[in-house]
Amino acid sequence: MDKKVFSGIQPTGRLHIGNLVGALDNWVKMQDEYQTIYNVVDLHAMTVPYDPAELQRTRLETARLLLAVGVDPSRSLLYFQSQVPQHAELTWILSTITGIGQMERMTQFKEKGEKSGQNIGLFSYPILMAADILVHRVHAVPVGDDQTQHLELTRDLAERFNSRFGETFPIPERITPEIGARVMSLQDPTAKMSKSDPSQASRIDLLDEPDTIRKKIRSSVTDSGREVSYDWENKAGISNLLELFSFFSGAGIDELEAEYSESGYGPFKEAVAEAIVDGLTPIRTRYKDLDEGEVGRIMEQNALQARTQAEASMQGVRAAVGLSPR
Ligand code: AMP
Ligand code: TRP
């Protein structure tokens, strides 16, 4: 258990099954083998226009959902990023070894900047993410496919820091699931399922009621054919549903393909919906049972412990760059 894991999730809107399949499922599983550290990355959420009262609410809601999904505070250090100022301090230090050209190639800045307006926080977002990971000197980072570029930058910065200032950071590995690293929108299987998609029907939130889930799967966009087969090129909508079905039922894609190939889309979609309903019901129940006051207390206690750990690590970093106390 001496290997460490870090990951984070933004408190913007509710979490959906893309988050669960692509990342959170691994967060939970990795608790068995690693020392796990997880963040609600509230500082990252400030890089797009937001309402302070809404942020206050969604960060607690996100923490509560993470606990409901199975992040276990007796095994994982779960806290709000903003509560551990060492993340921001390391961001500054890393920014001094980051090239502007490299940052300009980050696709997220271009995409989000076009949608919601550019600011320096959005530009340096990936450096803060690198600092989240490196401040705890972790070995592995469970994330969905969309974080690949950010992880590459993190590895790059760790290597650059080590060669300039001496061996300090391990080079972290990206951990993505084999199936479901990129869950697609139910309304447009060429776009990724996303919290910020204005269409509610494009995603299934972890707290959606069973009938809402059934309706969204029934109305999900598929092709005009009849055959259920796993073929991303010609049947992206069906392939996306097959991946979800496999995740929630535990059955292999081959098995499901064989069982439903002749059934037609209607009965197939019904079965997919029931598997998702069964998978999300325990999460919804646990969420309702969790007390917000208790969630807040857990977050505070963990932040305290995280500050101690991050501070110990930062003392080494400060010494390496020439900022020891005397
Ligand atoms: P975010 O919602 O952007 O904060 O992402 C939180 C985690 O969920 C990250 O590890 C993402 O890579 C992952 N994630 C987000 N959307 C998807 C998706 N559609 N499919 C798979 N993983 C996703
Ligand atoms: N950028 C990630 C996302 O949008 C969230 C994140 C912030 C993160 N810091 C991180 C993920 C550190 C993994 C490790 O999903």
14/143 same-domain check: yes
Ligand nearest to the CA of 7: 2
Q: What is the pLDDT of residue 44?
A: 97
Cα 250 to ligand 2 centre (Å): 27
Q: Which domain holds residue 301?
A: 4-176+292-321
Domain CATH code at residue 268: 1.10.240.10
With a 6 Å cutoff on the Cβ, whether 10 touches ligand 1 is yes
Q: What is the pTM of this model?
A: 0.96
Domain CATH code at residue 317: 3.40.50.620
Residue 193, domain member (yes or no): no
Q: Which atom of ligand 2 is nearest to the CA of 41?
A: 7
158/268 same-domain check: no
Does the annotation count 216 as an active-site position? Answer: no
Number of domains within the chain: 2
Cα 303 to ligand 2 centre (Å): 18
91/157 same-domain check: yes
Q: What is the pLDDT of residue 109?
A: 86
Q: What is the pLDDT of residue 153?
A: 98
Residue 81, domain member (yes or no): yes
Q: What is the pLDDT of residue 138?
A: 98
111/237 same-domain check: no
100/142 same-domain check: yes
Question: Which of the residues 3, 29, 112, 215 is marked catalytic?
Answer: 112
Residue 326, domain member (yes or no): no
Residue 181, domain member (yes or no): no
Q: What is the pLDDT of residue 282?
A: 98
Cα 313 to ligand 1 centre (Å): 28
Q: What is the pLDDT of residue 108?
A: 85
Does the annotation count 195 as an active-site position? Answer: yes
Residue 190, domain member (yes or no): no
Can you list the residues of the chain whose pLDDT is less than 50? none
With a 6 Å cutoff on the Cβ, whether 14 touches ligand 1 is no
Residue 87, domain member (yes or no): yes
10/137 same-domain check: yes
User: pLDDT (tens digit, 9 = 90+) per residue, 181-212?
Assistant: 999 999 999 999 999 899 999 999 999 999 99
Name the residue of 6, 10, 146, 206 whose CB sits within 8 Å of the most ligand 1 atoms, as the mutation to test its pocket: 146
8/145 same-domain check: yes
Cα 320 to ligand 2 centre (Å): 26
Confirm if 207 and 270 have CB atoms less than 8 A apart. Answer: no
Closest C-alpha to ligand 2, atom 9: 129
Closest C-alpha to ligand 2, atom 13: 7
Residue 184, domain member (yes or no): no
User: pLDDT (tens digit, 9 = 90+) per residue, 281-297?
Assistant: 999 999 999 999 999 99
298/266 same-domain check: no
Report the distance separating Cα 176 and Cα 178, nearest Å.
7
44/172 same-domain check: yes
